[in-house]
Chains A and B, each alone.
Chain A
């Protein structure tokens, strides 16, 4: 049985990529919230995610303006 990762049908493979991105986004959102709760700075979070501080702040700060 062919797996989606190796599937020749783009529809199957692309759908898997989309689902994976959604999963990653959910996990990232959850972990960033948790890190902020634990007192991590935006810089520390950015380093862990290997992105710029600006990028991570822009993406996640609106979710937790109460912090």
Chain B
């Protein structure tokens, strides 16, 4: 499905894979794609996201935070403290051996799809499919990082979209920005 991807768009995907590896997550999710776009090399999408006030560090923090709000959140930590268990300490011990985010109940994967390490999560796959659809809608014969961003906005329900909204970004405005960026790039070239 990557035939029409520009070099910059491919770099977003490659960079997303690296992010997944660094987090030690099994699948490439929308959040990793978003981090992939926050690479300077990813051209238009990078410019749009930076103008919206987003940084890689901030998104990484939000991803970590979202992980901690899993099945073992702050309310659990408080309840455990009351019976003499320090969840932070337990987590630290576990992470010493198994890496960050290890003490987190992983979701049971749906049978037969996507569970192989390094594959795309269903939502991330949807984002990539939608990026193609966005390119078709705009009559573009290629898929750039901006189209991936448009796909991510259209999908709208992944962790990446939640992080964007949590950062106070209006997704409709971001879409307009991304489309404007594409238009400028085409007018110049």
Contact = CB atoms under 8 A, between A and B. Distances in A.
Interface of A: 3-5, 7, 12, 15-16, 18-20, 22-23, 25-27, 29-30, 34, 62-63, 65-66
Q: Is the interface of A mostly helix, strand, loop or mixed?
A: helix
State the main secondary structure of chain B at its contact with A: loop
A12 B85 CA distance: 15
Contact of A20 (B83, B105, B115): B83
A25 B105 contact: yes
7 A-B pairs with the lowest CB-CB distances in the bound complex, closest first: A4-B82, A19-B76, A19-B79, A15-B79, A5-B83, A16-B79, A62-B108
B50 interface: no
Given A23-B80, A26-B103, A30-B102, A63 B108 contact: yes
Contacts of B75: 15, 19
15 contacts: A4-B83, A5-B82, A5-B83, A12-B82, A19-B80, A19-B87, A20-B85, A22-B71, A23-B72, A27-B94, A29-B105, A30-B103, A63-B109, A65-B115, A66-B117
A50 B2 CA distance: 49
Contacts of A12: 79, 82
A43 to B, nearest CB: 22
B82 A34 contact: no
Contacts of A23: 72, 76, 80, 85, 87, 90, 103
Contacts of B85: 20, 23
A18 B79 contact: yes
Interface string B93-120: 0100010001111101101000111000
